[in-house]
A = this chain, B = another copy of it.
Amino acid sequence: MKLSKLFLHTKKDNPKDAVSLNQKLLIRAGYIQQVSAGIYVYGPLMWRVIRKIEQIVREEMDRAGAIELNLPLLQPKRLWDETDRWETYLRSGILFHLQDRKDEEYALAPTAEEVITNYVRNEVTSYRDLPVNLYQIGTKFRDELRPRFGLIRGREFIMKDAYSFDLDEKGSKKTYEDMKQAYVKICERCGFKYRVVEADSGAIGGSDSAEFMVLAETGEDTILECSGCDYGANLEKATADYADDHDYADSKLEPLKKVKTPGKRTVEDLCKFLKIPVEHSVKTIIYETDKGDLVAVMMRGDYDINEVKLVNHLGVNSVTTASAEAVKKATGAEVGYAGPIKLNGAKLIADLSVKSMVNFECGGNETDTHYLNANFKRDFPTPEFVDLRNAKAGDLCAKCQKGQLKECKGIEVGHVFNLGSKYSQAMKLTVQHNDKDVALRMGCYGIGISRIAAAAVEQMHDEHGIVWPEEIAPYQVIVIPVSGKDEAQTKLAEEIYAKLQKQGVEVLLDDRDQGAGFKFKDAELIGIPKQIIVGRDAPKLVEFKDRKTGKVEKLSVEEALKRF
């Protein structure tokens, strides 16, 4: 393709309102144009990248035995009602929905569990049809509260979603593992540095769940991985052992002591004021669930509460830290003084980290007041102990008990779920087997196509622009005649271009009437993996430049052509 025909318009400066790196670079390099928040035009170069990623994903899905089909984007509410997810999604705000001219309600597909389950139950005739794994590649919608991070958290985006149906859990687990392997291959082919980590299942549901994280400093997800074994997990899901610095086993229970702590609302201030180590303090945080219940969570003072774990433990859709009013109602005190003793208005649960503690500090349920030497059972009923803690860097790996966890940042590009029979039971997707109606075991598997493109930019770029990995680059090589006015150069560039095309190489020719500096800058910015620069030494030699390493070789035309 000749650049003059590609309708490519690079911009000199970063777009003013773009914050994230992929958005800045992709807009500046003419790949995308924003239409509304989180809604983009994919320009000609971008669309080639997207189609390449699609093709990689398609090939790996086909290889894994999945079959491609296409589900509608308009999804009738009646299907969502069968699984009770309509209200949940509606409340979360992310569901684009509309009424047709007959006032029937439809969602714009954010995911397609209901639609595919409906399709399969209307088609499946026997357990002999199983296993089956169906996938599609296409547009999805999420009305994000804050569309951000360029193509990574858009409101309209492209993804591949697959849904598998097995007769039993053994089959389902195998399909799940096969799909994980297919995703590994996709990440490899895209040239990513990535991690496969344990993840929370969230609103989708199910038992096992893993995320594919592209490593990037700019990533919004925090990953904890073990230095000693293969354990890795999203912070939301990560568990870890922790240093229990104190042996309480022989501690004598000291008398409970109420102390005045005016204005000491933070753990740090308080411990400094009381002159106790922070590991001897317990904070109690009051949460309100989406059902309106109040829950008080006890956590060792130096640890953080993991709200995802809390939500999962409580079996609710969401929690928020309670309002000052609700705290007052539950504790009788202002925010900052909640504690387990004489707590009446909230259900008390505690993190595992406080289970063995004795003689600890805690809030007094009275403004400007805390207790010292508080103890379970003696001072208040022992609550349920649950893992509610954010694991963190430095923690001991719970899997190998040897390595230490370290933290890195990632961008989630894929997520696989072993769903069990949540959807098939709700929607009565069953087959007869051994004279019984068996609800199928399902899995679902999503990978973001447009997100992969954006994650590649986040991971692979330098100060000059994008550095596409070869398999997803829009073109493999760009031929640049240094001077558009030098006829010999122009002619040779055209020849090289024609020959490469004949070789089946995806090649760009910068035939624009622009100066050399402009053309070089553009070539770097748009990130084509190789450059063939036809300059002063032509026709004897051309420069062969690698975009990633910056390495330049002087080659004969023949040698340059042989590189493809």
Interface residues of A (CB under 8 A from B): 5-7, 9, 30, 33, 35-36, 39-44, 46-47, 50, 65, 67-76, 79, 93, 96-98, 100-101, 104, 106, 108, 115, 118-119, 122-125, 128-129, 132, 134, 138-139, 141, 143, 145, 155-156, 513
Contact = CB atoms under 8 A, between A and B. Distances in A.
Nearest to A129: B7
Nearest to A11: B123
A7 B123 contact: yes
B97 A68 contact: no
Contact of A9 (B36, B67, B123): B123
A104 B96 CA distance: 12
A145 B100 CA distance: 10
A156 B73 contact: yes
* Majority secondary structure, A binding face: mixed
Contacts of A47: 68-70
B138 A139 contact: yes
Contact of A98 (B75, B96, B156): B96
B96 A70 contact: no
A72 B143 contact: no
B134 A7 contact: yes
B39 A74 contact: yes
A121 to B, nearest CB: 11
B100 A143 contact: yes
B73 A44 contact: no
Given A7-B134, A104-B36, A143-B101, A70 B93 contact: no
Given A36-B76, A123-B9, A123-B30, A70 B98 contact: no
Contact of A33 (B100, B123, B513): B123
Contacts of A75: 35
B93 A68 contact: no
Contact of A39 (B5, B40, B72, B128): B72
Contact of A67 (B44, B93, B145): B44
Number of copies of chain A assembled together: 2
Given A35-B115, A36-B104, A6 B73 contact: no
Contacts of A100: 96, 143, 155
A115 to B, nearest CB: 7
A131 B71 CA distance: 36
B36 A74 contact: yes
Nearest to A132: B7
B93 A33 contact: no
Nearest to A78: B36
Contacts of A115: 35, 41
A134 B46 CA distance: 14
22 contacts: A5-B65, A5-B67, A5-B132, A7-B129, A9-B125, A9-B129, A35-B79, A35-B115, A39-B72, A39-B74, A40-B72, A41-B72, A42-B69, A43-B69, A43-B119, A46-B69, A72-B156, A73-B139, A73-B156, A74-B141, A98-B98, A100-B143
A68 B98 CA distance: 30
A145 B101 contact: yes
A365 B101 CA distance: 39
Given A7-B134, A97-B98, A139-B138, A71 B36 contact: no
Contacts of A35: 72, 75-76, 79, 115, 118-119
A82 to B, nearest CB: 13
Contacts of A108: 98, 108
A125 B79 CA distance: 48
Given A33-B122, A125-B9, A41 B67 contact: no
A132 B4 CA distance: 10
A386 to B, nearest CB: 33
A181 B118 CA distance: 42
A46 B67 CA distance: 12
A549 B6 CA distance: 45
B97 A70 contact: no
Contacts of A5: 65, 67, 132
Nearest to A139: B73
Contacts of A98: 96-98, 108
Contacts of A44: 67-69, 134
A74 B156 contact: yes
A266 to B, nearest CB: 34
A119 B74 contact: no
A40 B71 CA distance: 7
A39 B155 CA distance: 23
